[in-house]
Amino acid sequence: MLTKFGRWVSLVPKRGFSTSTSFQKGASEEGVKSMNLCSAINQALHIALDTDPRSYVFGEDVSFGGVFRCTNGLADQFGKKRVFNTPLCEQGIVGFGIGLAAMGNQAIAEIQFADYIFPAFDQAITDQFCFQIVNEAAKFRYRSGNQFNCGGLTIRTPYGAVGHGGHYHSQSPEAFFCHVPGIKVVIPRSPRQAKGLLLSCIRDPNPIVFFEPKWLYRLAVEEVPEDDYMLPLSEAEVIRQGSDITLVGWGAQLSTMEQACLDAEKEGISCELIDLKTLIPWDKETVEASVKKTGRLLVSHEAPITGGFGAEISASIVERCFSRLEAPVARVCGLDTPFPLVFEPFYMPTKNKILDAIKSTVNY
Amino acid sequence: MALSRLSHRGVGSTLLRPFSARPISSDATLTIETSVPFTAHNCDPPSRDVATSAPELLTFFRDMALMRRMEIAADSLYKAKLIRGFCHLYDGQEAVAVGMEAGITKRDCIITAYRDHCTFLGRGGTLLEVFAELMGRREGCSKGKGGSMHFYKKESGFYGGHGIVGAQIPLGCGLAFAQKYSKDEAVTFALYGDGAANQGQLFEALNIAALWDLPAILVCENNHYGMGTAEWRAAKSPAYYKRGDYVPGLKVDGMDVLAVKQACKFAKEHALKNGPLILEMDTYRYHGHSMSDPGSTYRTRDEISGVRQERDPIERVRKLLLTHDIAAEKELKDIEKEIRKEVDEAIAKAKESPMPDPSDLFTNVYVKGYGVEVLISSNYTALEFYRRMDIFS
Ligand SMILES: Cc1ncc(C[n+]2csc(CCOP(=O)(O)OP(=O)(O)O)c2C)c(N)n1
Ligand SMILES: [Mg+2]
């Protein structure tokens, strides 16, 4: 099914990402264009709608482009029957998407802010439940002749800090969804990644929550292939090679982590930086191989530390690499407070906090 | 600093005296007809004749003009980057906040969404508390920790200030249940927008309120847009007062402060006797949805200026004051001048208010003394946070 669309690309950037122009181009010789993350998402949606007549984009205000303009122009090109506004009702949006997907369609739902995904949480879980019944419970699948499937559902939603978003426009709820087997959770770090990963998500036969780092919508600009390409899910990427410590992160946090790596390098510490990309199911092997080499691990995310996905990574790596670890796994994350309005810099896992943790882990 | 405390029963506002050339002793009852009739669903509408008085009308004028000025000032502060985060302004809708207060008491509860500055002021909040909160300062009504969307005032039954669309409606039912259980003879007004009216939570709340006869009044502030979406694009039936089905409803001109007052009085009596009621306030917001919305892409400028010219709640009262010879044009202008000064002074004072202490980042997450500590990161304890402030920025 997947190969029907586009092509798979395995891009190994030599360095940097969010504003990097130095990456190996894929097999295709088609053009690349410099664009921001928002336009890359927009392009992916264009391609998705163009290549599959049974795909739909819907959500609050999406036919006008959505609050972040990611869906600009889609309604004009593909019509209001395939790109449409929903009323303000997140539970309804996702539930509707499940039904649409169960009829064999690609339902691409937008939840305006990840902070508003909670009314739909129940539906998202229902969704995986339905998926599990259909795909795991063999007898039921047999009886229905495998007719039903709600894997065509992709929920796009902007997450994370923007500098002054306050309590309800800044949260990173990815860990909640990682606790639900049957849903995939994917978070891109840059425009090129966003386009390739989103197309993979839309075409993956599993329900997926795709979190978009809204801080990077306009900020991250890079060369993006203009054609239809996909990046593999559940494949982490080493975006910076190093030998003293492994850093694991995803989304917007990676650029902060990369700055910490550069500062650590000046002090003679060689950091390996890994972009997890898919949180569930995640690529343990890549992280494991790296930690076996460096002997140290640091995980960083914006969500509060307790119960964050960093805890899962930490536990898994301790299980797999116990004898190779030379220091406790470090987690540099959001604080265990509500996302604050006035104290955002204190709350955030900033470069200095990461650098400090790198040093104390290396000198353990 | 707060709104004038003049009640519709009361006499002699100290705030008003300086502006009034003639003695406003004429608190004799005036009867004024509402702009348009009420439209009722499953109930008999109240009379269109609203009892008021000269002092009350002046209070309405002053309070609404103060709210308007405050919101315009907030707009400038936001543009000057002195207010961060999200900020939703209420100008245009003032008659709802002011008329509602005139029809109820502070023992009644109000709960609303994020467009809450003026509702807070109506509940007796001060300008200083407003501006300090907007700028994230210690003297703000939520100690600077809430910001624009999170205003509260417990003493006068204002339960805020909620950022998640629709979430406050079932909360309002909980408040009303508590009021009923403790035989308070008070009611709860739960406000929500036309956009929020499409959330499932509203219908769950309606059923609960009706099932248990709760003294809850669900107030749909229909400003006709939920962000950029016109009501008719999002609602099969934009007759929000009817959407309670078995719950009675009343459609009110929300730009007519007297109609709002009449409706809220009526609703309170009804709710205490018979349980919930929907009030649909037909109103309009002049500003865009929030500060990032110019407010002109999904509606015409003509539409906005039309409402300003024909339905503006402040202008309506100004006209009443003039035609009933209660105040002269100049006196009203003076009131507006005075208001301007009051707002500027409050802003100056708010700017002097310090930012919250960094330790406030960790307070109010849990109740102190119940064995809960804030975990800062696996590398730092709360204590180290203070020792290592250098790495925290
Ligand atoms: C659950 C949820 N979904 C989406 C949003 C984003 N949002 C904030 S206000 C708003 C529009 C609400 O419109 P309406 O209820 O009419 O109230 P108004 O802004 O007009 O006062 C939206 C979509 C939110 N805050 N919460
Ligand atoms: Mg509205």
Pocket test for ligand 1, best of B93, B165, B223, B286 (most atoms within 8 A of CB): B165
Rounded-to-integer distance, Cα B34 and Cα B50, Å: 7
Give me the sheet containing B249-253, strands edge to edge: B39-41, B249-253, B277-282, B216-222, B188-193, B109-111
How many Cα atoms occupy the beta-carbon half-sphere of B47 within 13 Å?
Answer: 6
Task: Report, as an integer, the average pLDDT of B164-180.
Answer: 95
Task: Determine the structural domain holding residue A286 and report its residue range.
Answer: 237-363
Give the containing element (helix H, strand E) for B111: strand B109-111
pLDDT of amino acid A95: 82
Examine the pLDDT at A13 and tell me if it is beyond 60: no
Nearest CA in chain B to A168: B163
CB B288 within 8 A of CB B296: yes
Which of A198, A225, A252 is the last residue before a domain boundary? A225
Shared-domain flag, residues A244 and A207 = no
> How far is the centre of ligand 2, averaged over its atoms, from the C-alpha of A69 (Å)?
21
Confirm whether A17 is domain-assigned. Answer: no
pLDDT of amino acid A315: 97
Residue A164 falls in the annotated catalytic set = no
Rounded-to-integer distance, Cα B45 and Cα B176, Å: 23
Examine the pLDDT at B205 and tell me if it is beyond 80: yes
CB contact under 8 A, A168 and B149: yes
pLDDT of amino acid B379: 54
Confirm whether A16 is domain-assigned. Answer: no
Rounded-to-integer distance, Cα A48 and Cα A157, Å: 17
Q: Where are the domains of chain B?
A: 3-362
Judge if the beta carbon of residue B238 lies within 6 A of ligand 1. no
Kindly write down the DSSP assignment for every residue of A253-320, as one continuous string: HHHHHHHHHHHHHHTT--EEEEE--EEET--HHHHHHHHHHHS-EEEEEEEESTTSHHHHHHHHHHHH
Region of poorest pLDDT, from B18-22, B305-309, B313-317 = B18-22
pLDDT of amino acid B216: 98
Shared-domain flag, residues A128 and A183 = yes
Confirm whether A8 is domain-assigned. Answer: no
Between the CA of residue B69 and those of A354, B63, B125, B343, what are the distances in Å?
46, 10, 15, 7
pLDDT digits (tens, 9 = 90+) for A21-61: 333 444 444 699 999 999 999 999 999 999 999 999 999 99
pLDDT digits (tens, 9 = 90+) for B349-384: 999 999 998 888 888 888 777 766 565 555 566 666
Shared-domain flag, residues A121 and A198 = yes
For residue B329, the tally of other CB atoms under 10 A from its CB is 10
Q: What SS3 class is residue B388?
A: coil
CB contact under 8 A, A92 and B200: yes
Q: How many CB pairs under 8 A join A and B?
A: 141
Shared-domain flag, residues A248 and A210 = no
Region of poorest pLDDT, from A103-112, A228-237, A321-330, B110-119 = A103-112
CB B165 within 8 A of CB B201: no
CB contact under 8 A, A335 and B201: no
**How does the average pLDDT of chain A come out, rounded?**
86
Judge if the beta carbon of residue A112 lies within 6 A of ligand 1. yes
CB contact under 8 A, A167 and B235: no
Q: What SS3 class is residue B316?
A: helix
Query: Which of A46, A60, A110, A169 is labelled catalytic?
Result: A169
Tokens of A142: 């047999």
Nearest CA in chain A to B389: A346
pLDDT digits (tens, 9 = 90+) for A62-97: 999 999 999 999 999 999 999 999 999 888 888 888
Nearest CA in chain B to A349: B392
Q: What SS3 class is residue B281?
A: strand
**Longest Cα–Cα distance in chain A:** 63
Residue A169 falls in the annotated catalytic set = yes
**How does the average pLDDT of chain B come out, rounded?**
91
Confirm whether A2 is domain-assigned. Answer: no
Shared-domain flag, residues A178 and A256 = no
Task: Report, as an integer, the average pLDDT of A117-125.
Answer: 68
Confirm whether A24 is domain-assigned. Answer: no
CB contact under 8 A, A341 and B84: yes
pLDDT digits (tens, 9 = 90+) for A175-219: 988 988 778 999 999 999 999 999 999 999 888 999 999 999 999
Pocket test for ligand 1, best of B227, B291, B299 (most atoms within 8 A of CB): B227
Confirm whether A13 is domain-assigned. Answer: no
Which of A195, A225, A255 is the last residue before a domain boundary? A225
Judge if the beta carbon of residue B227 lies within 6 A of ligand 1. yes
Q: Among A88, A118, A353, select the one facing B198 at the smallest CB separation.
A: A88
Region of poorest pLDDT, from A63-72, B7-16, B21-30, B106-115 = B7-16
Domain count for chain A, please give it. Answer: 2
Q: What is the pTM of this model?
A: 0.88
Shared-domain flag, residues A96 and A122 = yes
Shared-domain flag, residues A137 and A281 = no
How many Cα atoms occupy the beta-carbon half-sphere of A14 within 13 Å?
Answer: 5
Q: A76 or A2: which carries more pLDDT confidence?
A: A76
Shared-domain flag, residues A201 and A103 = yes
The predicted complex's ipTM stands at 0.84
pLDDT of amino acid B162: 93
For domain B3-362, say whether CATH 3.40.50.970 is its number. Answer: yes
> Which CATH number goes with the domain that contains A323?
3.40.50.920
Confirm whether A20 is domain-assigned. Answer: no
Judge if the beta carbon of residue B148 lies within 6 A of ligand 1. no
Which of A165, A190, A225 is the last residue before a domain boundary? A225
Between the CA of residue B295 and those of A280, B64, B304, what are the distances in Å?
40, 22, 9
DSSP structural state of residue B215:
-
